[in-house]
Amino acid sequence: MSIHLAPAALERVKGFLSADASAVGLRFGVRRTGCSGWGYHVDLARGRDDDDTVFEQDGVRILVDADSLALVDGTRIDFVKQGLNEQFVFENPNVAAECGCGESFTTDEDRAA
């Protein structure tokens, strides 16, 4: 099991963490949303929950809740700048399809249900 931050994402997250002394890491997971079913949720973690799995990369902790773990396992998170736009992007091997706008995704397990 793994979550990996690309160099640009790692630097961006380190910047967020250094600016907020109460943050203990990056919280990464999914929530039901959008037309395809799952949307990514990224925020600063203020603490560790009992069901969190914690990954660490170059001093940055990435906390993933148990319900999200199977859906995001193996994800590579990058941070890209295109003109004036900046955003995190996700390369998730569990994604079977995405909605047209790219805001949500579905997995093979969702399709079978």
55 pLDDT above the threshold of 50 = yes
Domain locations in the chain as residue ranges: 3-112
* Residue 57 in tokens: 């990369």
pLDDT tens-digit map of 36-51 = 689 999 999 999 999 9
pTM: 0.89
Instruction: Give the pLDDT of residue 104.
Output: 80
Report d(CA 33, CA 35) in Å as an integer: 7
For the domain made up of 3-112, the CATH class stated in words is mainly beta
> Residue 40 is which amino acid?
Y
